Chain A
Amino acid sequence: MSDGNSILIDVQDVWKAFGDHQVLKGVSMRVHKGSSDVILGRSGIGKSVLLKSIVGLLRPERGSIHVMGEQVIGMKTKELNAIRTHIGYVFQYAALYDSLTVRENLEFPLRKHTTMSESEITDAVMQQLELVGLEDAVDKMPAELSGGMKKRIGLARAIIKKPTLVLYDEPTAGLDPITAREISELILSLEEQFGITSITVTHDIECAQLIANRIYILEDGVFQHSGSFEDLRRSDDPTIRAFFKLVL
């Protein structure tokens, strides 16, 4: 079990393989309430695998993952779903339901898990769209949106139920630098407004600089280094320097 009430996520010695390819080799991390932690690493290193394991989409072979004090590995779907209602997940390519409009995408979690009235749902949707600056897109289909707009709508959908924890999977991947910075600033602003705890998986060092309280660097299936942005920036380790030379 997690030691202390302030720990929201406690990952201990997690191992995950796909066939013969061992992706995670004993990953451990602790995320405290209100903290914004960032996992940095090269593409294909297993960052998203860890995120999906935390939310129960993947099942590690070894180790333990406690979310809000509950062990999620091996948990039954019903109990897992009870935890998932407190978690928002922003997918790399937004994963908007492409047969639904933006409005219906945002309404979906509210209709499934709340007893809000029609007018309350409409108000909540418009409020979220205002937060992400996309009120005009309310009746558009996902196919009509740009990559940046999709990310914003994905973000709005993830936080519409005011979750305790938000997991961001490459929130700035595939965006131009200006839009990527806007998304990073939006994440920061939403976290400050709602006091959300978050884990962000990225290889965007500028995004990490902006939003991270603590950074973990995933390499060879384990966290080789962790610390604040400034701690890591001052490090002489070649792996860390390889990441940080982009902003130094």
Chain B
Amino acid sequence: MEPRGQNYLQFTLARFRHTMEEVYGVTVFGLKFFPYMFRRPIELGQIRKHLDDLGAKSIPLLTVVGLIMGLILALQSRPTLDRFGAGGFLPAMIALTIVRELGPVITALIVAGRVSSGIGAELGSMKVTEQIDALEVSAVDPFNYLVVTRVIACSIMLPLLTAYVDFLAIFGGFVAEWIAMNSSFQLYFTEVIQSLRFYDILPGVGKTVAFGYIIGVIGAYQGFNTSRGTEGVGRAATSAVVLASLNIIFLDMVIIQLTFLFLGTGV
């Protein structure tokens, strides 16, 4: 029994050490981004391309998710609110839930699944086929050309996509209300607008800039550190999604606490 216990301890320590090395690696990689933001050349062509690839092409999926999210939220909440005689608060509840929390997090998780894995796989493939080395020997900085452009594109695109999903989800809530209660469009959206305040919208959309940064950095880090050929590319894509999703949820928790600390609960 003792050797097995010993092995288990060694295995756990090795895993812990590996995790800490990964955390250190991704932190250094992520911090490297900031000085590069002010360094020339600024690859505007690449940023524009990635805004389209990473952002605009996520719109069909996010349209479906946004609408259905609002519909489900309204359908699930209506009976409970009615039981307490609070059915009239439904538009406000949907707006606050979506804008403060569900919209940013669901959008970030979906974009992480679609984009972070894509970045991990694309850069991983470039790494194992020596395309990143080819960039470097062409006197082009691969970090600037491949990483900075993608992280900027993700950080710009995610707030825009979140605002889009927020609107669609609130609209989805209206569709459910209209079908169930024949609510008027004007009444529903008046209540939505009246319920939202500046500090509901700003942290909700603002934190998605950080989520976009996480999606870009983790995807790129996994891609840049790919080894072992095509197997490694698959692993980079999977790790990118898992780590980006975990970090988004963790960061969301931190941002909620900070928001409550500095702006209050808003109640």
Contacts and interface: CB of A to CB of B under 8 A. Distances in A.
Interface of A: 52, 55, 57, 77, 81-82, 84-85, 87, 89, 91-93, 95-99, 108-109, 112-113
Contacts of B126: 97-98
A81 B131 contact: no
Contacts, number: 45
Interface in B119-140: 122, 125-126, 129-131, 133-134, 136-140
A57 B141 CA distance: 12
A98 B136 contact: no
B131 A89 contact: no
A97 B141 CA distance: 15
Contacts of A98: 125-126, 129, 131
Counting chain B CB atoms within 10 Å of each CB, which of A52, A89, A93, A95 scores highest?
A95
Given A84-B139, A97-B134, A109-B138, 16 more contacts: A57-B136, A81-B139, A81-B141, A84-B137, A87-B137, A89-B137, A91-B134, A92-B130, A95-B133, A95-B134, A96-B134, A97-B126, A97-B131, A98-B125, A99-B122, A112-B140
User: What is the interface residue range for chain B against chain A?
Assistant: 10 to 19
A112 B136 CA distance: 12
Contacts of A112: 138-140
A38 B138 CA distance: 22
B150 to A, nearest CB: 13
B132 to A, nearest CB: 9
Contacts of B141: 77, 81
Contacts of B134: 89, 91, 95-97
A98 B136 CA distance: 16
B139 A95 contact: no
Sort A-B residue pairs by CB-CB distance and give the 6 closest, nearest first.
Answer: A81-B139, A95-B134, A95-B130, A84-B139, A89-B137, A85-B139
A20 to B, nearest CB: 17
16 contacts: A57-B133, A57-B136, A81-B141, A84-B137, A91-B133, A91-B134, A95-B129, A95-B131, A95-B133, A95-B134, A96-B131, A96-B134, A97-B131, A98-B131, A112-B138, A112-B139
A108 B138 contact: yes
Contacts of A81: 139, 141
A113 B139 contact: yes
Contacts of A97: 126, 131, 134
A52 B134 CA distance: 11
A106 to B, nearest CB: 12
B129 A55 contact: no
B137 A93 contact: no
Contact of A93 (B129, B136, B138): B129
Contacts of B131: 95-98
A95 B122 CA distance: 14
A55 B126 CA distance: 19
Contacts of B138: 84, 108-109, 112-113
Nearest to A88: B137
Contacts of B139: 81-82, 84-85, 112-113
A113 B140 CA distance: 9
Nearest to A113: B139
Nearest to A58: B133
A104 to B, nearest CB: 12
B39 to A, nearest CB: 10
A77 to B, nearest CB: 7
A89 B130 CA distance: 11
B156 to A, nearest CB: 21
Contacts of A113: 138-139
Contacts of B129: 93, 95, 98
A112 B40 CA distance: 12
B163 to A, nearest CB: 30
Contacts of B122: 99
A188 to B, nearest CB: 22
Given A93-B130, A95-B129, A55 B137 contact: yes
